[in-house]
Amino acid sequence: MTTEVDFYELLECDRGADDAVIKASYRKLAMKYHPDKNDGCKDSESRFKAISEAYDCLKDPQKRAAYDRYGHAAFRNGAGNGGGGAQDFGAFSDIFENIFGEFMGGGQRAARGPRRGADLRYDMEITLEDAFRGKSTEVTVDVSAACDSCSGTGATPGTSAKSCSTCAGQGKVRAQQGFFVVERTCPTCHGVGQVIADPCNACRGEGRVEKTKTLTVNIPPGVDEGTRVRLTGEGEAGMRGAPPGDLYIFLHITRHPLFEREGTTLFARAPISFTTASLGGEIQIPGPGGEHHSIKIPAGVQSGRELRQRGAGMPVLQGRGRGDLVIRIEVETPTRLTAKQKELLEQFRATETGEENPQTTGFFKKVKGAWG
């Protein structure tokens, strides 16, 4: 009996993963287990076919929905192929478009020409106050940038690249293997379709060099933990004049001594004295924008009660309005009483009837009842 491995497990993805995550995982695994990269290893070939079958199913919304509901049974007896039993070669199409394109040196669809530069990541810590107001700041990054000497072409100034004679500028060559025709990246130009006879001395023909750049980052008000700010075209330069990648700034909010945040709502813990809790009063809470909020404490408030101040929380990112500020009340029992204070409390206790503390009175009535 053949063991059927879960498609999500094969692709090393969660069931809730979106299409982009599934595709990225598939491409990574397909490059890893492709037979051409593993000297014809049977295990790698078997794994390659399995992940291709998994991706073929999960990339199609209808097939994925059927698989999520019925599992492998959804595709037995031709159920997954419209009843006709014909194989869908969509996954293998993606192999030629993506794997040969990147694993063997070309761009998407094994296209000719230099590859686009890689996207880069930069992690930045900011304060809650920065996230509230927004800010403009500078970052310094080491990145591959277009060579100034050759203007990114990779060729010595005054010269230019020529069409590759091996692949006739196609960036790929074909080879017959039995009944199949296999396309491979051109070994001479590495998929670019052009060769440089006289490479630039400054960049050695790559068209890019390592540089340190200082960039301005504008952080809008309302950003949260993990928010990305994209700097278009500030990533790694492409080879030989190809477009550059992007730089992504990932924001991380440092822990605040007073506030905790959930979306646009701010939470703060406010200890108050038992006299304020009994008689009522008012406390002042500073906001992250420098403003102060007056919070009215109702008489008889209990620990754990939440008092909400509308519109005093974080601003909505790229929108209007603000969230709320929620104050969690904690009534503090005094621990350092003077003799006079103790005397006054004793006088107060002598006047108690039980009506002042209905929860306490109710609790001990239940206890008494339980004891009979």
Structure tokens at 118: 């890689």
pTM over the 0.95 mark: no
The pLDDT, as a whole number, for residue 113 is 56
How far is 324 from 313, CA to CA, in rounded Å? 4
CATH 1.10.287.110, domain 7-81+88-103, yes or no: yes
What pLDDT shows up at residue 254? 94
State residue 179's pLDDT score.
Answer: 65
Half-sphere exposure of 279 (CA within 13 A, CB side): 6
In the chain, which segments carry CATH 1.10.287.110? 7-81+88-103
Classify burial at 96, counting beta carbons within 10 Å of its beta carbon; exposed 0-12, middle 13-18, buried 19 or more.
middle
pLDDT of residue 114: 64
Which residues in the chain show pLDDT less than 70?
1-3, 40, 75-114, 177-179, 372
Residue 358 contacts residue 302 (beta carbons within 8 Å)? no
Largest CA distance in the chain: 106
CA 267/CA 213 separation, integer angstroms: 39
Per-residue confidence (pLDDT) for residue 76, from 0 to 100: 62
Asked whether the beta carbons of 95 and 110 are under 8 A apart, the reply is no
C-alpha to C-alpha distance for 251 and 246, rounded to whole angstroms: 16
Contact 252, 258 (CB under 8 A): no
**Phi then psi dihedrals of residue 90, to 5 deg:** -60, -40
Tokens of 234: 């500030």
Q: Please check if 147 is assigned to a binding site.
A: yes
Contact (Cβ atoms closer than 8 angstroms) between residue 252 and residue 126: yes
User: Tokens 């192999």 correspond to what residue?
Assistant: 95
Which of the four CATH numbers 2.10.230.10, 2.30.31.10, 3.30.565.10, 3.90.1150.10 does domain 120-253 have?
A: 2.10.230.10
DSSP string, 294-310: EEEEPTT--TT-EEEET
Q: What is the pLDDT of residues 104-158, one digit of tens each?
A: 444 444 445 567 888 999 999 999 999 999 999 999 999 888 888 888 888 898 8
Instruction: Give CA–CA dist 275/262, Å, rounded.
Output: 31
41 assigned ligand-binding residue: no
> ∠117-243-157 over CA atoms, to 5°?
100
Instruction: Give residue 46's identity as a one-letter amino acid code.
Output: S
CA distances from 161 to 5, 83, 150, 191, 328 (A): 49, 52, 12, 14, 69
d(CA 152, CA 117): 12
Confidence at residue 3, expressed as pLDDT on a 0 to 100 scale: 56
**The CATH homologous superfamily of the domain defined by 259-371:** Urease metallochaperone UreE, N-terminal domain (2.60.260.20)
Specify the domain boundaries for CATH 2.10.230.10 within the chain.
Answer: 120-253
Q: What are φ and ψ of residue 60, in 5° steps?
A: -95, 120
Q: Are 218 and 125 in contact (CB under 8 A)?
A: no
pLDDT digits (tens, 9 = 90+) for 297-326: 999 999 999 999 999 999 998 888 999 999
